């Protein structure tokens, strides 16, 4: 136990801040991945008790303005067809998933309208009464009507008071609940003609607020996305990384054993050749390996991603170093007991080398899990064998970036490795230090 | 004599049986590519190349690939940029790793937590982490810009990654942060191997904290520092994924935002790895092979110099 000291306190502060910066991508990925569409890029983590809608525009002075509004998280574009507009298609403005449009000089009467979402009609003709009141229906959420010198606000709320309409000039109009459909209405009179901007302010409970900011839906959507099925990517990554790990460990252990304990023709030359390959940057092998894999017909296959990396020199070096520390007497004792060469390997080498084999497996697993470039070039964009980083790169290449979905995709790469690391970090650290310090 | 050579022969045979899988992979995917790459570097794809058998149907062009590379501004630019990337990342990684190791060596409670936390980013997918940083560093809506906004500052309109002068240093910073745990672990285990008695002797001689660091710790850590220089050089020569994730086509060109260099428009983050990939992507396989060979020669020269440096130290 040590005493509290100012120096230690300072060290803790520095380390904590450093930690926060180092792990920032992790936190940020998680937060964004859980956000609703349109919320991803806002710096709002806990809901405010009074929420504000996006601003709306309305013009006073023109007779009879109608604002139509449609909410959709997935729609790219929404158009509306109204009978007072002779059924012409009108494009609606998009404000983070809230689509809206204003119509002016709408004559009194009853009209019909229909929303067309991404070019497909909703099939629901809704009724709208202008001049007397705005009709209610499920698709129409918030709607306002300007008539003569007054505005009538209509807001569809969850029933928590107060609900207010905030005009840009600072005026606040209390809305009261008027009908059973859940609409709050209020009116402001005596306005001078001109454009007015307003937002609705409404009270909400904490969990309602959380639900408006966060969702788990991103994960579901990305897992089963039609063009970018991350569940498939995840399984592909798992297969590629696991098989790379298993076979690399098997080959390196066998080779490491003979380099550590046997004398054979050409041992020194071979070792020299192996080690000098370690001095060559791996990128240089990209083209010829690609050519070989192409010739073998291994493009778009697990084989193409796994096999070229099984000759792991670093792994061989690691295993040789480790097996050299196994006392020769153990081998001699086993030989006297009549063990065959293969039995020496399976009964002596493998059980005693387990820790380093596990270390190598983890290092290779993590390495191949993240081997972006090779997996990127050995898969065509429509391949069924795309892995996580490749899938994410292709997802990112889309015209419209959905950050919350992209971060949900990132989670499938980052979280399993984080868990693996937390469980087995002793082996990770051992591999690194035993590889370096003995140079 | 004959018995001995017989048993030697037998041992060799057994050894090669054990070695066979590794050796087979090595020969096919590491040994043969070296020769094949050299062969390809004297050839070139042409208009008449059969695209279903590209590699078997390339024209012999002699040294043309090497010649065109050595006279290519972008080739030299990419090498220069790789060097500056190494200069940006290696000293900073060493300094940060050493600093963290010294802090953690204070035998604090919870040191193992901090050690894991700093080391964790090291094992995470580079492409994915790079992508997350793109989001954090984005102008207008990125976390950094929003936080800076709170104290009245703002990132330049283009953001850090789309500005040719800040793109590479920013990527280098992200990589140094991500890799900090690597150096930390190496330094930490090396520091803990230094015998306490040396420090005690220094204490008796009245050495200051700085003197102990300068004259005891650092000299004993030299092997680790050299190891980090070697691995750092390798990473700079291999650098591709982080650049591709953080400075690719969304912001200007393939190799990051464009910049003027000797009358040529070049990518401000177009490191040798990026340029190599660019040649590869354009199916200029002969040139790619020649580039690979030139890079290998450079790598071997650097390794040779490093080895000399190591020898001098010893």
B297 near A CB under 8 A: no
pLDDT of the residue at A120? 76
Q: CA of B117 to nearest chain A CA: how many angstroms apart? A: 6
Highest mean pLDDT among A163-177, A313-327, B148-162: A313-327
Per-residue pLDDT tens digits for B133-156: 998 998 877 888 888 888 888 877
User: Which of A382, A335, A32, A216 minimizes the C-alpha distance to B128?
Assistant: A32
Kindly state the DSSP code that residue A379 receives in the 8-state scheme.
S
Q: Which residue of A has its CA nearest to B289?
A: A287
- Which chain A positions have a beta carbon within 8 Å of B31's beta carbon? 273
Per-residue pLDDT tens digits for B210-245: 888 888 888 888 888 888 988 899 999 999 999 999
Span A50-204 CATH architecture:
Sandwich (2.60)
DSSP string, A380-428: -TT-TT--HHHHHHHHHTSSS--HHHHHHHHHHHHHHHHHHHHHHHHHH
More confident residue, A421 or A78: A421
pLDDT of residue A167 exceeding 90? no
d(CA B155, CA B35): 49
Widest Cα–Cα separation across chain A: 108
- Enumerate residues 6+ apart whose C-beta is below 8 A from A381: A394
d(CA A338, CA A332): 10
Kindly state the DSSP code that residue B205 receives in the 8-state scheme.
T
pLDDT of residue A366 exceeding 90? yes
Cross-chain CB nearest to A281 (options B178, B180, B237): B237
CATH of domain B72-282: 1.10.3720.10
And the tokens for B250? 């969304």
pLDDT band at A421 (very low <50, low <70, confident <90, very high): very high
d(CA B236, CA B81): 10
Cross-chain CB nearest to B300 (options A41, A250, A279): A279
Cross-chain CB nearest to A255 (options B22, B146, B237): B22
d(CA B169, CA A96): 34
Q: CA of A145 to nearest chain B CA: how many angstroms apart? A: 34
d(CA A33, CA A404): 5
- Which chain A positions have a beta carbon within 8 Å of B14's beta carbon? 258, 262, 341
> E strands of B84-162, at which residues?
none
Q: Are residues A421 and B36, on separate chains, in Cβ contact within 8 Å?
A: no
B118 near A CB under 8 A: yes
B16 near A CB under 8 A: yes
In DSSP terms, which residues pair with A66 in a beta bridge?
A: A103, A145
Q: Which of residues 73-102 of B touch A (CB under 8 A)?
A: 100
Question: What share of chain B in percent tops pLDDT 70?
Answer: 92
Kindly state the DSSP code that residue A197 receives in the 8-state scheme.
E
Contact assessment for residue B125 and residue A389, using Cβ atoms and an 8 Å cutoff: yes
Cross-chain CB nearest to B126 (options A254, A295, A370): A370
b/e burial code for range A379-398 (CB count within 10 A of at least 16 → b): beeebebbbbbbbbbbbbee
DSSP string, A236-283: HHHHHHHHHHHHHHHHHHHHHHHHHH---TTHHHHHHHHHHHTTS-GG
And the tokens for B56? 């078997």
- Which chain A positions have a beta carbon within 8 Å of B292's beta carbon? 283-288
Residue at token pair 């790619």: B288
User: Which of A429, A385, A393 minimizes the C-alpha distance to A413?
Assistant: A393
pTM, to two decimals: 0.81
Per-residue pLDDT tens digits for B32-79: 999 999 999 998 887 666 666 777 778 888 899 999 999 999 999 999
- Enumerate residues 6+ apart whose C-beta is below 8 A from B94: B183, B225, B228, B229, B232
Q: Which residue of A has its CA nearest to B286?
A: A287
Count of all residues that appear for chain B in the document: 314
pLDDT of residue B132 exceeding 80? yes
B114 near A CB under 8 A: yes
Q: CA of A159 to nearest chain B CA: how many angstroms apart? A: 33
Q: Are residues A285 and B30, on separate chains, in Cβ contact within 8 Å?
A: yes
More confident residue, A135 or A257: A257
- Which chain B positions have a beta carbon within 8 Å of A41's beta carbon? 141
pLDDT band at A438 (very low <50, low <70, confident <90, very high): very low
pLDDT of residue A351 exceeding 70? yes
pLDDT band at A142 (very low <50, low <70, confident <90, very high): low
- Spell out the domain ranges in chain A: 50-204, 224-436
Q: Are residues B40 and A291, on separate chains, in Cβ contact within 8 Å?
A: yes
How many other C-beta atoms lie within 10 A of the C-beta of residue B185?
23
Contact assessment for residue A77 and residue A91, using Cβ atoms and an 8 Å cutoff: yes
3-state secondary structure of A368: helix
And the tokens for A268? 């020194």
3-state secondary structure of B120: helix
Residue A436: C-alpha distances to residues A321, A330, A429, A431, B187 (Å): 12, 28, 11, 9, 11
Residue at token pair 């054993």: A257
The correct answer on CATH 1.10.3720.10 for the domain covering A224-436 is: yes
Q: Are residues B119 and A428, on separate chains, in Cβ contact within 8 Å?
A: yes
Residue A85: C-alpha distances to residues A25, A94, A105, B48 (Å): 50, 20, 11, 60
Report, as an integer, the average pLDDT of A419-423. 93
Q: A102-111, B21-30, B98-107: lowest mean pLDDT where?
A: A102-111
d(CA B59, CA B40): 9
pLDDT of the residue at A370? 92
pLDDT of residue A373 exceeding 50? yes
In DSSP terms, which residues pair with A79 in a beta bridge?
A: A91, A116
And the tokens for A211? 């639900």
- Spell out the domain ranges in chain B: 72-282
Chain pair A-B, CB pairs under 8 angstroms: 254
Question: Which H helix or E strand runs over A66?
Answer: strand A65-71
């Amino acid at each position: 136990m040590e005493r509290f000291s100012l120096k230690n306190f300072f060290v803790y502060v520095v380390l904590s801040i450093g930690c926060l910066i180092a792990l920032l991508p992790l936190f940020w990925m998680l937060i964004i991945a859980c956000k609703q569409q349109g919320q991803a890029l806002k710096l709002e983590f806990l809901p405010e008790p009074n929420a504000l809608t996006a601003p709306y525009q309305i013009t006073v002075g023109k007779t009879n303005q109608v604002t139509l509004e449609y909410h959709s998280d997935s729609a790219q574009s929404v158009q509306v067809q109204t009978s007072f507009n002779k059924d012409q298609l009108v494009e609606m403005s998009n404000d983070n998933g809230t689509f809206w449009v204003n119509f002016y000089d709408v004559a009194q009467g009853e009209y019909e309208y229909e929303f067309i979402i991404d070019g497909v009609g909703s099939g629901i003709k809704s009724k709208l009464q202008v001049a007397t009141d705005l009709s209610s229906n499920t698709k129409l959420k918030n709607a306002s009507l300007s008539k003569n010198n007054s505005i009538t606000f209509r807001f569809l709320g969850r029933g928590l008071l107060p609900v207010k309409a905030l005009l840009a000039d600072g005026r606040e109009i209390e809305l009261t609940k008027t009908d059973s459909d859940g609409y709050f209405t209020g009116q402001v009179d005596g306005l001078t003609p001109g454009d007015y901007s307003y937002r609705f302010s409404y009270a909400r409970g904490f969990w309602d607020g959380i639900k408006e900011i966060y969702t788990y839906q991103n994960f579901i959507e990305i897992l089963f996305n039609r063009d970018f099925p991350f569940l498939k990517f995840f399984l592909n990554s798992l297969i590629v990384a696991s098989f790379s790990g298993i076979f690399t460990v098997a080959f390196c252990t066998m080779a490491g054993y003979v380099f550590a304990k046997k004398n054979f023709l050409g041992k020194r030359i071979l070792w020299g050749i192996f080690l000098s390959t370690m001095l060559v940057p791996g990128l240089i092998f990209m083209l010829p390996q690609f050519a070989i894999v192409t010739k073998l017909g291994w493009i778009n296959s697990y084989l193409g991603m796994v096999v070229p990396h099984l000759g792991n020199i670093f792994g061989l070096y690691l295993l040789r170093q480790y097996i050299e520390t196994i006392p020769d007497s153990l081998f001699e004792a086993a030989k006297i007991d009549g063990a065959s060469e293969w039995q020496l390997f399976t009964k002596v080498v493998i059980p005693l080398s387990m820790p380093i084999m596990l270390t190598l497996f983890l290092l290779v697993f993590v390495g191949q899990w993240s081997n972006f470039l090779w997996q990127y070039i050995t898969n065509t964009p429509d391949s069924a064998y795309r892995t996580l980083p490749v899938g994410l790169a292709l997802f990112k290449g889309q015209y419209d970036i959905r950050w919350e979905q992209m971060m949900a995709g990132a989670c499938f790469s980052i979280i399993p490795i984080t868990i693996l690391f937390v469980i087995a970090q002793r082996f990770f650290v051992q591999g690194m230090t035993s590889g370096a310090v003995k140079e | 004599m004959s018995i001995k050579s017989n048993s030697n022969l037998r041992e060799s045979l057994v050894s090669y049986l054990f070695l066979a899988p590794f050796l087979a992979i090595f020969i096919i995917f590491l040994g043969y590519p070296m020769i094949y790459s050299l062969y390809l570097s004297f050839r070139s794809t042409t208009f008449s190349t059969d695209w279903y058998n590209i590699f078997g149907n390339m024209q012999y062009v002699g040294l043309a690939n090497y010649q065109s590379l050595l006279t290519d501004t972008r080739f030299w630019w990419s090498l220069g940029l790789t060097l500056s990337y190494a200069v940006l990342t290696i000293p900073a990684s060493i300094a940060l790793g050493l600093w963290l190791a010294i802090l953690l060596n204070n035998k604090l409670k919870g040191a193992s937590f901090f050690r894991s936390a700093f080391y964790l980013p090291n094992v995470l997918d580079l492409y994915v982490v790079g992508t997350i940083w793109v989001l954090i560093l984005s102008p207008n809506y990125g976390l950094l810009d929003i936080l800076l906004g709170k104290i009245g500052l703002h990132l330049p309109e283009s953001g850090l990654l789309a500005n040719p002068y800040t793109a590479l240093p920013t990527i280098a910073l992200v990589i140094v942060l991500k890799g900090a745990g690597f150096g930390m672990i190496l330094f930490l285990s090396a520091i803990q191997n230094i015998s306490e008695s040396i420090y005690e002797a220094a204490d008796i001689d009245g050495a200051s904290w700085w003197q102990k660091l300068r004259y005891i710790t650092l000299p004993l850590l030299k092997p680790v520092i050299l190891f980090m220089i070697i691995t750092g050089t390798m990473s700079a020569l291999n650098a591709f994924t982080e650049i591709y994730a953080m400075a690719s086509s969304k912001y200007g060109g393939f190799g990051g935002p464009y910049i003027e260099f000797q009358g040529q428009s070049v990518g401000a983050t177009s490191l040798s790895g990026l340029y190599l990939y660019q040649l590869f992507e354009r199916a200029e396989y002969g040139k790619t092979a020649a580039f690979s060979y030139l890079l290998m020669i450079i790598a071997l020269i650097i390794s040779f110099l490093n080895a000399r440096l190591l020898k001098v130290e010893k």
